[in-house]
A and B are shown apart, each in its own frame.
Chain A
């Protein structure tokens, strides 16, 4: 019930940021992410708000699960 895709922060103000989504940009509110984010970070955008900082390390770990699951079986 929640469309949300990642965008990269390219500019920041106090409670808002400009995010770049593969070449298209928009201003979003960062009020739910306090001091957690800075320029260069990826955030999850839903209805014009950044609701999560995307963790690229965790993304890599999740992908490793694929191998982990495959190894478990064999």
Chain B
């Protein structure tokens, strides 16, 4: 696995860390946001924060697809299970996400509900042929996962199956990035842009970032990738010359993956979407369109998304927007733990709070 191992090589890492230490302006504080939850996990797992200069601060962003699903949308899943005889197919990430009453897919499974974990959306089709009841798939993720779910949609329509439905919970990045850029409280100097979203979208979605006078670097997920991205951001901030830089060229083409974008475009349209902890973000959700509308679970079952009210004292909104670090939330480890999460950032395995709790709590 040279493609991974060379980007984890400690000697390479040391060189780039030394370079970072050499170019930082000690009189400045650099605030860098990693948007993507997988970056958050990598940074925590590889211990990146600790080897950076003190004045380089990494802040986690809202790129955690499970964290940003509104409570009402989660509750709709449980509503469906309560009322109808269905099989729910899901990625493993959602199994422990609590509903308003504390219930989870795991607890429903224990109580006899038909809930299956799948690896690929296409497995939903095979699964549905084995089930006697309708199968409902929970579609989550950003642009990386959306094409795969679109492919599932296409297959269902192609084969004219009428017993597979999808919760349309996918979201997209560009508008939420713009929101972060407009936020006067935020003051981010540069963004480590999500490497795998970029595989699909290409680099053009990050142009608004550099237009706003901030750095945008597309980075991969290994330690070398993250560190060269940080170096490049610091370099751009120092020179005050900003351009979108693709440092994950082994996977990301500047134009993205046209076939994947076409899949999304065939099946989905962009709509306004509620992001938990942030609120409604215009044109940031994907809804089924045209002949694919019939796949939407809400068009086929009497369930709806309730109003969402943030739990009192929950600071996830501030964490998702990068205002505060998980470490300063008063509920961290004290009323909010991975086993009993109070808010969404602890719920997802790649939420900023979950990553902090798992990798940094007692160190």
Contact = CB atoms under 8 A, between A and B. Distances in A.
B259 A54 contact: no
- Of A32, A49, A58, A67, the most chain B CB neighbours within 10 A belong to A32
B148 A61 contact: no
Interface string A14-42: 00000001100000110111100000001
B64 A1 contact: yes
Given A63-B224, A73-B19, A73-B23, A1 B63 contact: yes
A66 B142 contact: no
Interface in B112-144: 119-123, 141-142, 144
B282 interface: no
B36 A1 contact: yes
B1 A22 contact: yes
Nearest to B225: A62
A31 B6 contact: no
Q: Binding site of B, secondary structure by majority: helix, strand, loop or mixed?
A: helix
Contact of B250 (A31, A46, A59): A59
Given A1-B142, A1-B350, A44-B196, A65 B228 contact: yes
B141 A2 contact: yes
Contacts, number: 138
A59 B248 CA distance: 8
Given A47-B119, A65-B228, A66-B15, A52 B144 contact: no
A69 B151 contact: no
Question: How extensive is the interface on chain B, given as a class?
Answer: 35 or more
A28 B120 CA distance: 9
Contacts of B26: none
B142 A51 contact: no
A69 B120 contact: no
A1 B350 CA distance: 8
A46 B22 contact: no
Contacts of A67: 15
Contacts of A13: none
Nearest to B12: A66
Given A22-B1, A70-B18, A44 B251 contact: yes
Interface string B11-23: 0100110110011
B284 interface: no
Contacts of B251: 44, 52, 54-55
B22 A73 contact: yes
Contact of A49 (B18, B19, B120, B225): B120
B252 interface: yes
- Of B3, B15, B36, B123, the most chain A CB neighbours within 10 A belong to B3
Interface string B193-236: 01111011000000000000000000000001100100100010
Interface of B: 1, 3-4, 6-7, 12, 15-16, 18-19, 22-23, 36-38, 63-65, 91, 119-123, 141-142, 144-145, 147-148, 151, 194-197, 199-200, 224-225, 228, 231, 235, 247-253, 257, 259-260, 263, 350
14 contacts: A1-B350, A4-B144, A4-B199, A6-B4, A46-B148, A47-B120, A48-B123, A49-B148, A51-B257, A54-B250, A58-B249, A69-B16, A69-B19, A72-B19
Given A29-B122, A46-B144, A49-B120, 18 more contacts: A1-B141, A5-B4, A21-B1, A22-B1, A49-B147, A51-B147, A52-B252, A52-B257, A54-B3, A56-B3, A58-B250, A62-B250, A65-B247, A66-B12, A69-B235, A70-B15, A72-B19, A73-B22
